[in-house]
Amino acid sequence: MNPPDEKTRELLRLIPQVNELAEAVHESDEGFGLPRRVVVDTTRQLLDSLRASILWGGDGSVSVPTPEDLDAGTLARKVLSSARAAMQPNLKKVINATGVVLHTNFGRAPLPSDALDAVVETAGGYCNLEYRLAEGERATRQEHLERLVCMLTGAGAAMAVNNNAAAVLLVLAAIARGREVIVSRGQLIEIGDSFRLPDIMSQSGARLVEVGTTNRTSLSDYSNAIGPETALMMKIHPSNFRIVGYTGDVPLEDLVALGSQHFVPVVEDLGSGSLVDLEPLGMSGEHTAADSIARGADLVTFSGDKLLGGPQAGIIAGSSEYVEAVRGHPLARALRIGKMTIAALEATLRLYLDPEKAWSRIPALRMLSEPAESVRSRANRLKRLLGRAEVPGLEYAVTPDVSCAGGGSLPTSEIPTYCLGLRHEALSASALEARLRGGDPPVLARVKDDRLLLDLRTVMDTEISSLAEAIGASIT
């Protein structure tokens, strides 16, 4: 690297000491109440980045700061605004107007209020997490969930861990470590975010034995692969994709029958694992956990925050023999579920005891099943509120479109919905999208055909007025 030229050195000399600038900001009236460490950290970041742009800038991507940029007042204002921003929570509420009900990036299932109440009630103080009150003795945290899961799935035993990826890892490690697991090539999936089944398999210490082809696997493919090293056969829900056309797959019950001839257990990773039948909604492709258990799966695994509509968790249910083996594995401790999740999951599962309650009180189920006409009336309400706000340059109209389940569930189900389509005379649809995303609260929507579509299916009744305000505020 060449030594910096005179102009560069001049600029570098204008950069104040971190402590000097931080102290000035912290002592100023505007800096009142800002923690010193936040001010110091923000100051250091700002000065470091200015130094870097002086040294490396000017190549077109970063511009070189001017002496005015380095003026004490300008720097202090920048530090103040960054420090204030750093004091805002990072994790915050957003309005999901994308129409994707189980959006992984937006936290998947919104929790039922019953679940929130349970968390508040138990987590703010002490609770009987691992204690049996009647006997006054130590117990396992799984007891709060096990009977409920068993009642809802017909399983003989059950437990829950941190998430479904953990459930799959744990089952494989506990039952198949050092041995073989037979999986159809059509089911070796990647769910997204580096959850690739073959990788999970190798992490668990189990050896993958692939059978069949991408589009077709037959029972004889499985039976030919069974040998002395076979620990289990695994069926995996294809979640976020579908193979169509010339396809063939082995039904679970046939696999179970084959397994019982050879004393090989069958595990099904259901992914979403709904606890209610979604067929009446015209959504096919998901069978319930109870269905898999009834068809003979020795173990099933599924997520708590997909179609179940509860907190992030992975549920393992099936025969006591295998659940015991899983429970006793050292990884079970490493992957264990926390008390807040148990509280939320128990409350959510309780709603399923009365399916009517499940449909009406679990937001994910309510959103998936809400008739389009009812979504339309919310779109109209938003339209009226925007009309009252008189946002200049903004055009909008209620328009039909389709929502989707998301979360790797029901990828081919298109759910008829209504959106409010926005257009602005001076802003492109993507500029509009960025404005709303940067608003307070941030609003996430989708761009389609030069319009910004706000899908009201995933917007709750209680969010409509703040949505209207956020739109007005971010455009004007």
Contact positions vs ligand PLP (CB under 6 A): 163-165, 168, 191, 195, 236-237, 239, 269, 271, 303, 314, 408
CA distance 31 to 23: 10
Within 13 Å of residue 65, how many CA atoms lie on the same side as its CB? 24
Please enumerate in sequence order all residues whose Cβ is within 8 A of that of 272, keeping only pairs 6 or more positions apart, or say none: 237, 239, 286, 302, 303, 306, 307, 308, 407, 408, 409, 410
Give the pairing of strands 266-271 and 299-303.
Answer: parallel
- Least CB distance from residue 146 to ligand PLP, whole Å? 19
Distance in Å, CB of 140 to ligand PLP, minimum: 22
Q: Which of residues 168 and 351 has its CB atom nearest to ligand PLP in the complex?
A: 168
Minimum distance, C-beta of residue 189 to ligand PLP, in the bound complex (Å): 6
CB of 405 or CB of 470, closer to ligand PLP: 405
Q: How far apart are CA 32 and CA 19, in angstroms?
A: 17
CB of 360 to ligand PLP, least distance (A): 25
**Among residues 408 and 439, whose Cβ is nearest to ligand PLP?**
408
Tokens of 410: 């029901």
Minimal distance in Å, beta carbon 191 to ligand PLP?
5
CB of 367 to ligand PLP, least distance (A): 18
In the bound complex, which residue of the shown chain has the CB atom lying closest to ligand PLP? 271
Cis peptide before 441 (omega within 30 of 0): yes
Residue 425: what are its φ and ψ, rounded to 5°? -65, -30
In this complex, which beta carbon is closest to ligand PLP, that of residue 54 or of residue 170?
Answer: 170
The Cα 34–Cα 28 span in angstroms is: 10
Question: Looking at beta carbons only, is 239 or 288 nearer to ligand PLP?
Answer: 239
* Cβ–Cβ < 8 Å for 110, 93: no
Q: Which is nearer to ligand PLP, 311 or 439 (CB)?
A: 311
Min dist CB 176 to ligand PLP, Å, is: 16
Nearer to ligand PLP by Cβ, of 122 and 164: the residue is 164
Burial class of 338 by CB neighbour count within 10 A (0 to 12, 13 to 18, 19+): middle
Contact 266, 231 (CB under 8 A): no
Least spacing, CB of residue 108 vs ligand PLP, in Å? 8
Strands 299-303 and 314-318: antiparallel
114/190 with CB nearer ligand PLP: 190
Please provide the size of the chain in residues: 476
